């Protein structure tokens, strides 16, 4: 594990971050947003900037519903295979596209692989690279039932959940959220964006140390 990426938050507070990759999608993203709103949950959407064109209203809806945008570069291809110059160019191109709606501060390399040069480039432009601690293999195991069971069995305070949008993946994510969100609520968890998670964890730690 290379230093410089975030996988989870250190906390005992009942709070987790939900992240959703690979949108926007004209059909499935609104379904996901509807489920989130039903359970008063929020998420960080890691968007592929080449998919923003013709989906501007969907991106605007993400932001309007108090969710957060994350940078998932310009295309769905392994970021680790890009040269340093290509990675920097892709990061900046995606940043320009997404910043029209809201400034993103979180970056997730495509395919989840990264190196120290990518970390340094991200930090140069004010980004934090974030992966996750709870990934139910929804890109490979096409089962909402499995994803729901995996998340609910393994969730812990400070978990960062990774799910995917777009086509059949997005439809499964909407179904998975319909299952896990009411149960997480029942257990006392709040499901929030990455920025909310780390803001609350920081406040929680500061408050505890002041006692």
For residue range 126-154, list pLDDT tens digits in order. Answer: 999 999 999 999 999 999 999 999 999 99
Q: Which of 21, 25, 90, 165 is catalytic?
A: 21
* Predicted local distance difference test score (pLDDT) of residue 146: 98
Report the distance separating Cα 73 and Cα 89, nearest Å.
9
Segment 5-17 mean pLDDT: 96
Segment 37-57 mean pLDDT: 97
Closest by alpha carbon to 88, among 73, 103, 104? Answer: 73
**164 is a catalytic site residue:** yes
- The domains of the chain, with CATH numbers, are 5-209 (3.20.20.370)
Q: How confident is the model at residue 203 (pLDDT cuts 50, 70, 90)?
A: low
Write down the pTM of the prediction: 0.94
Q: Which of 72, 128, 150, 164 is catalytic?
A: 164
pLDDT higher than 50, residue 56: yes
pLDDT higher than 60, residue 206: no
Q: How confident is the model at residue 47 (pLDDT cuts 50, 70, 90)?
A: very high
**22 is a catalytic site residue:** no
Segment 176-202 mean pLDDT: 96
């Amino acid at each position: 594990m290379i230093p410089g990426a975030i996988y989870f938050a250190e906390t005992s507070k009942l709070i987790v971050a939900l992240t959703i990759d690979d949108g926007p999608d004209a059909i499935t993203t609104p379904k996901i947003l509807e489920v989130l709103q039903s359970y008063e949950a929020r998420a960080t959407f890691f968007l592929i900037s080449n998919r923003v064109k013709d989906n501007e209203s969907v991106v605007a809806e993400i932001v309007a519903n108090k969710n957060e945008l994350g940078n998932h570069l310009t295309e769905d291809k392994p970021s680790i295979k890009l040269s340093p110059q290509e990675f920097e160019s892709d990061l900046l191109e995606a940043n320009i596209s997404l910043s029209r709606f809201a400034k993103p501060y979180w970056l997730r390399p495509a395919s989840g692989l990264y190196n120290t040069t990518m970390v340094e480039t991200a930090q140069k432009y004010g980004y934090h690279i974030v992966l996750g601690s709870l990934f139910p293999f929804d890109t490979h195991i096409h089962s909402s039932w499995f994803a729901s069971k995996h998340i609910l069995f393994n969730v812990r305070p400070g978990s960062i959940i990774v799910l995917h949008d777009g086509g059949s993946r997005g439809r499964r994510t909407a179904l998975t959220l319909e299952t896990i969100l009411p149960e997480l609520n029942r257990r006392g968890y709040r499901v929030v964006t990455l920025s909310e998670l780390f803001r609350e964890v920081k406040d929680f730690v500061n408050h505890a140390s002041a006692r």
